[in-house]
Amino acid sequence: MKTLITSTLKILHTRRRALLTFHLFFSGLAMAAITPAITWALASLRPVTGRAAISTGGMIEYLTSPGGVVWVLVTLNLTVLVIMLQQAGMTLIAASPPYRHYQTAMGALWGTARRCVALIQLTVIQVFTHLLIALPFLAATGLAWAWLTSSYDPYLLREELPLELWWFAVCATVSMLGLITCNGALYLRWILVVPCLMLRSQRPVEALRESTRLTRGHKGHATGVLASGLTAVILLPILVTLAFDQIASLLLTILPDRTGILVPAIFLFIAGYILIGIAVTFFGTAAYGAFIVSLYYRATGRSPRMPEPSLSYTPPGNAGPKAWIAEALVVILALGQAWFVVDSLDQREQVTITAHRGSAFKAPENTLSAIEQAIRDGADYIEVDVQITADGVPVLWHDSDMSRIFGQRERISEVAFEDIRNRDAGSWFNTDFAGERIATLSQAVETVRGRAGLFVDLKPDRNTPNLTRAVVELLQSMNFVDGTVIAAADWTTLREVERLEPGLKTALLAQFVVGPLWEDNYDILGLRSNRATPAAVARAHRDDNELHVWTVNRRAAMSKFVDMGVDNIITDRPDVLSELLQERASLSNAELLATKLRNWLR
């Protein structure tokens, strides 16, 4: 293993400039052409794939549908193809003599383009084979989920963590270990397929067979080096972020509280951080390519040589000095990104507050007490979950049944309002709220009128097909369409809302997104906090949608999302968020800039 690592590092050292040049050119090509082409290809599949899955149940249904299968196959193949193309180019560079860096990089681009059809064929074969091996393990995990957890409300499953959930975790762990073992064995068997394809000009099937033959007796060495490399890839970004976080704290302590000094200093600091990030990314991809070639030479007993003549490329005569352009491009790229980041840090935030089920930390959720408390705590919107009783009364209720609050297994849709209107809806939270009763939507409207907006999360089930119509008609009759948002975790409900009342704003609530989103079918995208990213915010705003994030209860996370540029934060603690926004509003420009920098580093 030591010899393999030494050989890999030697290739990295002697071909570093050619590898860097290729990495930059390929990254630029990916941004300018490959990524837009993939986006266009996936978007063109919309009539076939349908809308994205945004919940656990929806994901299973989507992935097992014909359209979902097509989307998964196309996405996986295109993603793997991009990785394969980059690895092919770096393989050619690693197998070339360590001089004429620019020419070598251009030759690698040309050689990769010449073998593009073979690389596509190789990608399809590998993706389909890996999926066939993984399918039984994925099916076992899905069946275990359906068998063990289907009788539980998803919310109660997260809150109560019943024994069945732990049994599912055991089953899923065993399945995933089996998947990793079997697919990992196939990956190691085919790990040399790209060098066989690129350096021997073999056809895809021949290259796979040759890789299988060459890796016999070398899988142990490959596994050890790959495990070490994977550990380094995981730890390096974490260590770099921690180091820069400490440097930022020291820098902000030393520098005076003046924008004229802070802005240039932060600009250079961010440029350095981005430069290190580019270096870490480049090192990871280049090291992997160099390692594969080193393993190939070890397995074949050959020494580095030029690729086949059919892959050669004649560079321009003045190519030599152009190798220096690569280093300059890295610096320019880092400075450009740093300027963009600093410019985004300079914006003043405009974030609204939505109280999740009212102030659910201080009062029982979805009650009038929780709504009143949320208004006092500074909420702009009150989020309430709405279901309908058997006799057609829209009430504030979250769970699929009444076991958590009333101790009954029936659904709200199975009982009349008169049978539950006097039940105790507050003692489960605290005995101080023993007199609290289940609230109706009409009561909630009258409570918030003129004081806050209403964020109505519809919870339809198979027994309540008229829920959407009942809620919309109630809002219309009470003249409360303006200032109300109707939210749902399914497309059908939102489409019906827009048909019944175009004046209502609609919000799509997504735990995650698997498949293509149709941004023109909603006004607001609500993402779970662990799915919200700056890219998601930018995309939502580009499509003229708002982005709301839920459910955020930690102060540090609130501050991070404010700086991310989200439009609304949904929280159980509106008082904490309101206090945070007031504090930030009182900060000087320099203090706010320092706060934004700390959040950017997280």
Q: Are 266 and 344 within 8 A, CB to CB?
A: no
**Whole-angstrom Cα Rg for the chain:** 29
Q: What is the pLDDT of residue 387?
A: 93
- Strands 381-388 and 394-396, by their bridges, are antiparallel
Percent of the chain with pLDDT over 90: 36
Q: What is the pLDDT of residue 506?
A: 94
Taking residue 135's Cβ as centre, other Cβ atoms within 10 Å add up to: 11
User: At which residue do the structure tokens 């400075």 appear?
Assistant: 335
Q: What is the pLDDT of residue 308?
A: 42
Q: What is the pLDDT of residue 312?
A: 47
Q: What is the pLDDT of residue 503?
A: 92
pLDDT tens-digit readout, 455-464: 999 987 766 7
Mean pLDDT of 111-138: 94
Residue 114 has pLDDT above 70, yes or no: yes
- Strands 381-388 and 352-356, by their bridges, are parallel
Residue 310 has pLDDT above 50, yes or no: no
What confidence tier does 56 reach under pLDDT thresholds 50, 70, 90? Answer: low
Q: Are 288 and 228 within 8 A, CB to CB?
A: no
* H helix or E strand, kind and range, residue 563: helix 555-564
More confident residue, 253 or 549: 549
* pLDDT mean across residues, the chain: 83
Structural domains present in the chain: 2-340 (no CATH), 352-601 (3.20.20.190)
More confident residue, 255 or 139: 139
Q: What is the pLDDT of residue 486?
A: 96
The phi, psi pair for 485, rounded to 5°, reads: -115, 130
The phi, psi pair for 301, rounded to 5°, reads: 75, 15
* H helix or E strand, kind and range, residue 460: none
Residue 253 has pLDDT above 80, yes or no: no
What confidence tier does 546 reach under pLDDT thresholds 50, 70, 90? Answer: very high
More confident residue, 256 or 19: 19
**CA–CA gap between residue 106 and residue 86 (Å, rounded):** 13
Q: What is the pLDDT of residue 264?
A: 81
Partnered with residue 549 across adjacent β-strands are 527, 569
Residue 313 has pLDDT above 50, yes or no: no
Mean pLDDT of 551-578: 93
Taking residue 299's Cβ as centre, other Cβ atoms within 10 Å add up to: 22
- Strands 546-550 and 568-571, by their bridges, are parallel
Which of 363, 348, 350, 347 lies closest to 574 in space, CA to CA?
Answer: 363
* CA-to-CA separations, 292 to 137, 192, 205, 226, 442, in angstroms, rounded: 28, 7, 19, 10, 66
Read off the DSSP letter of residue 490. Answer: S
What confidence tier does 49 reach under pLDDT thresholds 50, 70, 90? Answer: low
Q: What is the pLDDT of residue 417?
A: 93
Q: What is the pLDDT of residue 255?
A: 72
Residue 307 has pLDDT above 50, yes or no: no
Residue 370 has pLDDT above 90, yes or no: yes
Torsion of CA 339, 344, 348, 351, to 10 degrees: -170
Q: What is the pLDDT of residue 170?
A: 95
pLDDT tens-digit readout, 147-175: 888 777 666 777 778 888 899 999 999 99
Q: Are 459 and 385 within 8 A, CB to CB?
A: yes
Angle, to 10 degrees, between the axis of helix 467-477 and the axis of helix 441-448? 40
pLDDT tens-digit readout, 394-442: 999 998 788 888 888 888 888 999 999 999 999 988 889 988 999 999 9
Least confident span in 168-182, 292-306, 441-455: 292-306
Residue 50 has pLDDT above 70, yes or no: no
Q: What is the pLDDT of residue 309?
A: 42
Q: What is the pLDDT of residue 278?
A: 79
